[in-house]
Amino acid sequence: MPELFMPPDVDAAREYFRAKPRRMESKLSTVAAAVARYLQDGDYIAIGGFGTNRIPTAVLHEIVRQGRKSLGVSGHTATHDFQILAAAGAMDRVDVAYVVGLEARGLSRSARRMFEEGRLRVTEWSNAALAWRYLAAAMGVPFLPARVMLGTDTQVYSAAKEIVCPFTGIKLLAVPALYPDLAVIHVHQADVYGNAQIEGIGVSDFDLARAAKRLIITCERLVPPEEIRRQPTRTAIPYFLVDAVCEVPYGSYPGNMPYEYFSDEVHLGQWLQAEEDSATLAAFLDKYIYGTTGFAEYLELCGGSHRLQQLRRQELLLNANGDTSPDQGGQQR
């Protein structure tokens, strides 16, 4: 039987949220302190954004640096984020919707190895199923009915259950609420209390922020609370959902951050290449993660402000040669 890693205990969740501190006070933290405080070995985590877009890379690196083990992971289009955790062998179970691949870029060897060597407990889902599992948790109900996965092996290897609609009599799939122990979401701007604003697509982060028991926000820019109150329409995540706020400029690198910088396809290609064998991977992780003190040092190793300026121009379609596409071969370095 496929495993349901996180049972939808809505009343336990209510008790948890009842006790969660709700004072409007500064939650400003370093990334290292936030990971040390809010993530234990064995916890179940979910990452915001979309794999190589608006991802909290600094926190993922820190999880690796601090050597967290036996994590459960929600694989709701987890691509580079999943690759980082897989490279360090930081997980032992995963709810899969989309993992291993980095979309058109190829497959992560580290991630493949974990599955193919049988080192993971695996339950299958779809992206909508995981998105709606977050939504069910955000609503405080134990499941939502859906019309996906029915009739397929994806359903057979999931932990969803078929039900019959009490109104129409049609067959539905009940997808259980998913309350991750920790979610980590990278946003454009936040204040010290945790009020957070996102530009561009929200992916599933609106619901994920409400589903998670603990929530670490990393932000491109820390802004004064007055800036939040000036445009409350833009607030996706109110402060009382948030446990820690970390200011991490360029925090989605090497991923894309809408209106800020494009993904670094050259560096993402280096990741895939480094994973070809375990010796090159170990050296790569030593250089970029274990051997660095933090994210700022990583950015420097990857080309620093010069490279980030190129990626900003790419995002804003300002490349001198009129090329509006991502550089895929490093020709602009």
Residue numbers 71-130 binding other proteins by CB under 8 A: 75-77, 79, 96-101, 103-105, 107, 111-112, 115-116, 118, 122, 124-129
C-beta neighbour count of 38 within 10 angstroms: 20
Among 262, 271, 288, 295, binds other proteins (CB under 8 A): 262
Question: Which one of the spans 32-40, 146-154, 182-190, 281-289 is the region binding other proteins (CB under 8 A)?
Answer: 146-154
Residue whose CB is less far from other proteins, 22 or 171: 171
Tokens of 287: 């250089």
CB count in 10 Å sphere of residue 321: 7
Closest separation between CB of residue 260 and other proteins, Å? Answer: 9
User: Could you count the other beta carbons within 10 Å of the beta carbon of residue 68?
Assistant: 21
Is 42 or 200 the residue whose CB approaches other proteins more closely?
A: 200
Contacts 24+ apart (CB under 8 A), 320-326: 326/262, 326/263, 326/265
- The H or E element that residue 284 is part of is helix 278-285
Q: Which of 12, 161, 325, 333 lies at the binding interface for other proteins (CB under 8 A)? A: 325
Beta bridge partners of 88: none
Per CB under 8 A, the segment of 13-21, 29-37, 149-157, 222-230 that binds other proteins is 149-157
Question: If we measure between CA atoms, which residue out of 221, 214, 222, 217 comes closest to residue 191?
Answer: 222
Answer whether 74's CB lies under 8 Å from 178's CB. yes
Looking at the Cβ atoms of 29 and 52, the one nearer to other proteins is 52
Query: Which residue, 12 or 317, has its beta carbon nearer to other proteins?
Result: 317
Contacts of 274 (CB under 8 A, 6+ apart): 280, 281, 283, 284
Q: Which of 11, 153, 226, 277 binds other proteins (CB under 8 A)?
A: 153
Q: Closest approach of Cβ 28 to other proteins, in Å?
A: 28
**Restricting to residues 34-63, which ones interact with other proteins according to CB under 8 A?**
49-53
Considering the rule CB under 8 A, would residue 222 count as an interface residue with other proteins? Answer: no
Among 17, 206, 284, 290, binds other proteins (CB under 8 A): 206
Contact between residue 183 and residue 209 where contact means Cβ atoms under 8 Å apart = yes
Q: Which of residues 263-302 bind other proteins (CB under 8 A)?
A: 263, 265
CB 149 within 8 A of CB 160: yes
Of 30-38, 154-162, 210-218, 286-294, which segment contacts other proteins by CB under 8 A? Answer: 154-162
Q: Which two tokens stand for residue 215?
A: 């929530």
